[in-house]
Chain A
Amino acid sequence: MTSSDISVRNLWKVFGAGGAKIPLDPELSALPSSQLLERTGCVAAVKNMNFDVAKGEVFVIMGLSGSGKSTLIRCLTRLIEPTSGSVTIGGRDILQARPAELRELRRQKMSMVFQHFGLLPHRTVLDNVAYGLQIRGAAKNERYARSREVIELVGLKGYESHFPEQLSGGMQQRVGLARALAGDPDAILFDEPFSALDPLIRRDMQAEVIRLHKDMGKTMVFVTHDLSEALKLGDRILIMRHGEAVQCGTGDELVGSPANDYIADFVSEVPRSDVLTLKWIADPVAAGTPGDAPVLSSDTIIRDAISTVMHSSSPVLVEESGTIMGQIDRDSILSVLHGAVPHGTRAAA
Chain B
Amino acid sequence: MSATLLGAEKATNTPAAPPTVPRRRLSRRALLLISAAVVWTVGFVFLHGTGTLALPTSELTDLHRSLNQFNSWVASNRDDNPVFLYLLSPLRSAVDAVAAVFTTVFAASSTGLGLPEIGWLGTVALLGWLAFAVGNARVALLTVAVFTFFGLQGLFVEAAHTFALVVTSVLLSLLVGLPLGVLAGISSRVEKIITPVLDFMQILPTFVYLAPLALVFLIGPASAVIATVIYAAPPIIRLTAHGIRGIPENTREASDSLGTTPLQRLFTLQIPMAKRTIVMGINQGTMAALSMVTIAALIAAPGLGQVVVRALQSLDVGTAVNAGLSIVLMAIVLDRVTTAASERARPATQRRRSALPRRTRMILVGATFALALVLVQLSRTMLWAARFPQEINIGPAITSGVDAASEWLQTHLFLLTGAFREAVTVAFLNPFQTAITDTPFFIMFAALALVAYAFGGWKLTALVLACLTVIVYLGLWGDAMVTLASTLVATVIVMVLGIVFGVAMGRSERFDKLMRPVLDAGQTLPAFVYLVPFLGLFGATRFTAIIAGVIYAAPAAIKIMADGISGVSPTVVEAAVASGSTPWQVITKVQLPMARKSLGLAANQGLIYVLAMVVVGALVGAGGLGYDVVAGFVQSSLFGKGLAAGLAIVFLGILLDRITQAAAFSAPSRSRSTAPSATTKEA
Contacts and interface: CB of A to CB of B under 8 A. Distances in A.
Contact of B272 (A77, A119, A122): A122
A135 B264 contact: yes
A118 B273 contact: no
Interface in B210-266: 248, 250-261, 264
A193 to B, nearest CB: 12
B347 A131 contact: no
A135 B258 contact: yes
A107 B258 contact: yes
Interface string A125-142: 000000110111000000
B258 A114 contact: no
A135 B259 contact: yes
A116 B255 contact: no
Contact of B259 (A106, A114, A121): A106
A163 interface: yes
B348 A164 contact: yes
B347 A121 contact: yes
A111 interface: yes
B268 interface: yes
A114 B254 contact: yes
Contact of B253 (A102, A118, A164): A118
Contact of B258 (A106, A115, A117, A164): A106
Interface string A35-65: 0000000000000000000000000000000
B269 interface: yes
B251 A119 contact: yes
Interface string B344-357: 00011101100000
A120 B250 contact: no
A79 B268 contact: no
Contact of A122 (B256, B257, B348): B348
Contact of A114 (B250, B269, B275): B250
A55 B252 CA distance: 29
A121 B257 contact: no
A103 interface: yes
A165 B597 CA distance: 34
Contact of A106 (B257, B275, B348): B257
B250 A131 contact: no
A135 B347 contact: no
A114 B253 contact: yes
A79 B348 CA distance: 28
Contact of A118 (B251, B264, B351): B251
A120 B259 contact: no
Given A107-B258, A107-B259, A114-B254, A122 B264 contact: no
Contacts of A68: none
Contacts of B259: 102-107, 132, 135-136
A166 interface: yes
A339 B278 CA distance: 61
Contacts of B256: 79, 106
A230 interface: no
A112 B254 contact: yes
Interface residues of B, number: 24
A252 B273 CA distance: 47
A165 to B, nearest CB: 6
Nearest to A165: B348
Which of A118, A176, A183, A189 has the most chain B CB atoms closer than 10 A to its own CB? A118
B348 A121 contact: yes
A208 B408 CA distance: 80
Contacts of B348: 121-122, 163-166
Contacts of A121: 251, 273, 347-348
Nearest to A124: B348
A120 B264 contact: no
A224 B347 CA distance: 32
Interface in B422-476: none
Contacts of A165: 348-349
A12 B493 CA distance: 58
A111 B256 CA distance: 10
A163 B347 contact: yes
A202 B198 CA distance: 48
B124 to A, nearest CB: 34
A184 B437 CA distance: 77
A103 B257 CA distance: 8
A143 B56 CA distance: 78
Contact of A135 (B252, B253, B260, B275): B260
A179 B259 CA distance: 13
Nearest to B256: A79
Contacts of A107: 258-259
Nearest to A183: B258
A116 B247 CA distance: 13
Nearest to A121: B347
A117 B254 CA distance: 8
A79 B257 contact: yes
B250 A111 contact: no
Contacts of A114: 250, 253-254, 257
B587 to A, nearest CB: 36
A59 to B, nearest CB: 18
Nearest to B275: A122
Interface in A183-234: 183, 189
B265 to A, nearest CB: 9
B382 to A, nearest CB: 46
A93 B124 CA distance: 65
Contact of B250 (A106, A118, A183): A118
A131 B255 contact: yes
Contact of B261 (A103, A117, A163, A183): A103
B352 to A, nearest CB: 8
Contact of A120 (B251, B257, B352): B251
A146 B598 CA distance: 52
Given A119-B254, A135-B261, 7 more contacts: A107-B259, A112-B257, A118-B251, A120-B255, A122-B275, A131-B255, A132-B259
8 contacts: A106-B259, A114-B253, A114-B257, A118-B255, A135-B261, A163-B347, A179-B258, A189-B257
Q: Which 8 A-B pairs have the closest CB atoms?
A: A118-B254, A163-B348, A106-B259, A122-B347, A107-B259, A103-B259, A132-B258, A112-B257
Interface of A: 74, 77, 79, 102-107, 111-112, 114-122, 131-132, 134-136, 163-166, 176, 179, 183, 189
Interface of B: 248, 250-261, 264, 268-269, 272-273, 275, 347-349, 351-352
